[in-house]
Chain A
């Protein structure tokens, strides 16, 4: 870790103007990801702008019925917030499936969006990694890639440049809920649909998302659609808690009175460089009732084009089974019963 200078602006404009002036500066929020990366010598900002002293974030109802989550609200406060629990239980469930209580107490909603991949090679400066050092090669591609991506890895060349995944649980739920991210930059405010926030690696694996280095995320807006009756977040991992997803599935269903699926949203985590959705697969469910064959068909469609790289090839079948299970659970409205892990285990 290099030495760095440090400042604590007290308003958004000051934070943004401070960062636009400096190339080697970074925002720091909970620090749960950035500090680790600095200790590992993966990130070396010369200046840290501590945004924890900006006006405190809130969780507010939006006039049109949605909910605004402040970027600086912690993951824990978000997951346990009454309105989130009541209206967006999928989001609570996803957040609580991530990290540990201690980390969730520090981690912020903004920081969670920006958290970087957990690829072993990315973290180990002794190894090649195109994301950390463009052009150095991808250690994971031919090495140990148990936790790596099976979807969306294409580059313009013959082989992928990067097969990292985005590790967040929260973002998978946000993707299913069609959240919108609010960003402040030198040119003012803009909004970014969560679908466009993260990106696929393509030929620029060093870029995780579409946000500019001098932009600050101020809030995440959840549209009014709640999906609070037929939903689930199913996370499969190598231990019952405190492990990143091998595969995770966020499902949100709206059923009509006859029990037919009026709308389905399915987002996958742990399989790609961004939370993964496939509208064609979701459309297969519209107007249908539950059925294992149908669910399997949806799963096949979602995993269409999936590619394994050795250690992670099992994820293709695992993801399919997880999708079927998550759809069953969500459809039945029994989000927790019979789950591979009980909610109490996760907490």
Chain B
């Protein structure tokens, strides 16, 4: 029965959030709490020669200043610092020694009776450095590009496939060719909530940690290993997360520092980062790409060259899937791809909404637009000419791909047919109007996960799994799935997450949570249902006594015969049969590998955008955008739409506004505040329209969902850049497209 799945339910946690009842990591209190403030390095590379903490320590109420000189012993092996999202290399260890590896590196933690005091004391710490020359500029270090080391991360982020066919020859002979260099600046996630950890020091040296994270169990793993503690002594809780966008996929340094201080002082400690410090860890790496496309006169693309060079730190090899998107979208026979990284004196980059996807796809989708102009073929038509039901990077058919329908519905809603292809041909007063489009694509993955379901003695259902809800609506859709699976009203169902004590779930990323945890919730509820069915059969005079599992369904708080709904036993009656105890089930859901392995699995989108560009002043507004999404089954159109809208807004941000600007002479990001790091404000956002295209898929996972966290952003940047070209005749290949680039 489906009373809730597919319905636009409001968030179950909405009221708690808007009334302030939802608590975030820095809001949990503890008796006798002390406050830590992080001191950050002012140089980019070198050594600390002297660190004078005496003035800070002399202030009454300052409890401790922990530096590399006086820190307690910590784990020795790199292995001990590897979290679930660690790329190959040697993870950063706060306060390890006197070495400075990047600007803003934490070099001390001041702990005091109040936050204000800790902050003030931090300003009194004097540090002398011996500076060494640094390199932070990707552009001037391209000659140092090298292949990334492989490691566990390579499983999820394989290097590009080997060349196919003969690119050079076919490209040379192509009747239409385009070539371009595409780049974008680094970006920082900047969720609303700053990173924070409240470490509560319990008796027997146990720790309860409230952490901002996309994986409570990932933080738990990290703490136990780095501090050589047992799992039973470390519990990490993270019920609400004020946005993360990937920044919470790895434990951030405030967690390490807060735990260290709490253990040292044997006292509860909270460490919160400042907005400025939010620019001192992982970020979307600056990336430079080259693309060359060759097509025949009918528009068939025969040759693709796509390379990419991304930045990484000097200590870890962060990678993304970048050029591989080209053959995933376009089925050319002659393809050469390359991906390299350049180690720089920066922190290791970190997955940020659609990592790699919103880097590689915009580049190829801009190049395709350039090809459309080269050939004189409508950009939508060109994409249809090169449409493929196979993913040629893996050479597998898609499990489902309703992109053609996305193109059709999106174009119709947008009015694409009325477009005059000539750049600069459409205007409204002083504004040049541009219409552009792009394809979007993102993986539809599923991971293993566990969940627990309990039907309480008073007939309420409680389901748990250690996943996270970073604002996406996980609480809501899991509640819907559980309610529908057991035929219960949503008020009687409670889904809980964000606690390392709960059944195992992977970090909340890659748009796989709906598929992964959703499947686990479905499985555990089904298996709980089986137990309940057995109990129902034992109810005296049960009309189900002789029924088979296949014959029953769960509806209206009852188990009943599908053929004869009056033959029913209530769930309450079933629980009552359990000798006064709740009915309990814990289950594991594994991806159906055998079924999945022969298919490529992905969500797709078609994006259409209108921009207005002031012909003299270069100001750009996105006045209209339509995203048509093929994302499998839509569990909740309301939260789904919010996800896509959020992605579209971020796409506008990426295309037009957002960049972390580094002064390479000092190796430091300079616009480290939300006044100067621009993301869209309401006035930047106009008409955004989302279409969910019907897509049926039994291969991706039992629910048929593909995940919507990332697909919303992927197609936007190129659609905007292409619209800017259509408006102005200017092809801007460097994002963001700020007005100076148009002048």
Contact = CB atoms under 8 A, between A and B. Distances in A.
A2 interface: yes
Contacts of B680: 239
A324 interface: yes
A205 interface: no
Interface string A165-190: 00000000000000000000000000
Contacts of B307: none
Contact of B683 (A121, A123, A346): A346
A242 B743 contact: no
A151 to B, nearest CB: 18
A124 B616 contact: no
Nearest to B671: A120
Nearest to B653: A239
B430 A239 contact: no
Given A118-B675, A126-B42, A314-B743, A144 B663 contact: yes
B621 to A, nearest CB: 7
Interface string B638-657: 00000000000000000001
A5 to B, nearest CB: 14
Interface in B410-439: 429-430
Contacts of B619: 236, 340-341
B668 A127 contact: yes
B145 interface: no
Tell me whether chain B's interface is mostly helix, strand or loop, or mixed. loop
A17 interface: no
Interface stretch (B116-124, B316-324, B603-611): B116-124
Contacts, number: 100
B670 A241 contact: no
B657 A239 contact: yes
A22 interface: no
B676 interface: yes
Given A41-B123, A124-B670, A341-B683, A118 B676 contact: yes
B617 A240 contact: no
A3 B668 contact: no
Interface string A1-28: 1110000000000000000000000000
Interface string A125-167: 1110000000000010011101100000000000000000000
Given A126-B42, A346-B683, A143 B617 contact: no
Question: Which among A2, A41, A240, A346 has the highest number of chain B CB atoms within 10 Å?
Answer: A240
A321 interface: yes
B617 A321 contact: yes
Interface string A319-345: 001101100000000000010110001
B119 to A, nearest CB: 6
Contacts of A124: 276, 668, 670, 672
Interface string B669-696: 0111101101011111000000000000
B224 interface: no
B508 interface: no
Contact of A236 (B40, B617, B671): B617
A241 B682 contact: yes
A143 B663 contact: yes
A82 interface: no
Interface in B725-743: 738-740, 743
Nearest to B662: A144
A318 interface: yes
Contacts of B119: 1
A62 interface: no
B120 A345 contact: no
Given A314-B740, A318-B743, A1 B120 contact: yes
A15 to B, nearest CB: 26
A133 to B, nearest CB: 13
B617 A322 contact: yes
A238 interface: yes
B432 to A, nearest CB: 12
A141 to B, nearest CB: 10
Given A241-B681, A241-B683, A324-B616, A144 B743 contact: no
A83 interface: no
Contacts of A346: 683
Contacts of B40: 126
Contacts of B665: 142-143
B683 A143 contact: no
A317 B741 CA distance: 12
B351 interface: no
A17 to B, nearest CB: 29
Nearest to B613: A340
B298 to A, nearest CB: 42
A240 B681 contact: yes
B702 interface: no
Contacts of A294: none
B614 interface: yes
Interface residues of B, number: 39
Contacts of A127: 42, 663, 666, 668, 670
Given A321-B617, A324-B616, A345 B683 contact: yes
Contact of A2 (B123, B617, B657, B683): B123
B494 to A, nearest CB: 36
A324 B617 CA distance: 10
A236 B742 CA distance: 13
A346 B684 CA distance: 10
Given A3-B116, A118-B675, A338-B430, A242 B681 contact: yes
A144 B661 contact: yes
Nearest to A240: B683
Interface string B444-477: 0000000000000000000000000000000000
A312 to B, nearest CB: 9
B278 to A, nearest CB: 14
A241 B739 CA distance: 15
A126 B681 contact: no
Interface in A233-247: 236, 238-244, 246
Nearest to A44: B123
B618 interface: yes
B668 A238 contact: no
Given A2-B123, A41-B123, A318-B739, A338 B657 contact: no
Contacts of A143: 663, 665-666, 670
A246 B430 CA distance: 20
Given A124-B670, A317-B743, A338-B430, A3 B617 contact: no
A318 B617 contact: yes
A308 to B, nearest CB: 11
Interface string A26-48: 00000000000000110000000
B669 to A, nearest CB: 9
Question: Which among A120, A127, A139, A345 has the highest number of chain B CB atoms within 10 Å?
Answer: A120
B676 A120 contact: yes
B26 to A, nearest CB: 16
Interface string B710-723: 00000000000000
B123 A239 contact: no
Nearest to B619: A340
B206 to A, nearest CB: 34
Given A1-B116, A118-B676, A239-B657, A126 B621 contact: no
Contacts of A1: 116, 119-120, 123
A100 B119 CA distance: 28
22 contacts: A1-B116, A1-B123, A120-B670, A120-B672, A124-B668, A126-B668, A127-B42, A139-B663, A139-B666, A143-B670, A144-B661, A144-B671, A239-B678, A239-B683, A241-B682, A241-B683, A243-B675, A314-B740, A318-B740, A324-B616, A325-B616, A338-B429
9 interchain residue pairs of minimum CB distance = A126-B42, A240-B683, A314-B740, A143-B663, A241-B683, A120-B670, A345-B683, A340-B619, A340-B614
Interface of A: 1-3, 40-41, 100, 118, 120-121, 123-127, 139, 142-144, 146-147, 236, 238-244, 246, 314, 317-318, 321-322, 324-325, 338, 340-341, 345-346
Given A241-B681, A242-B683, A338-B430, 5 more contacts: A100-B681, A143-B665, A144-B663, A236-B619, A325-B430
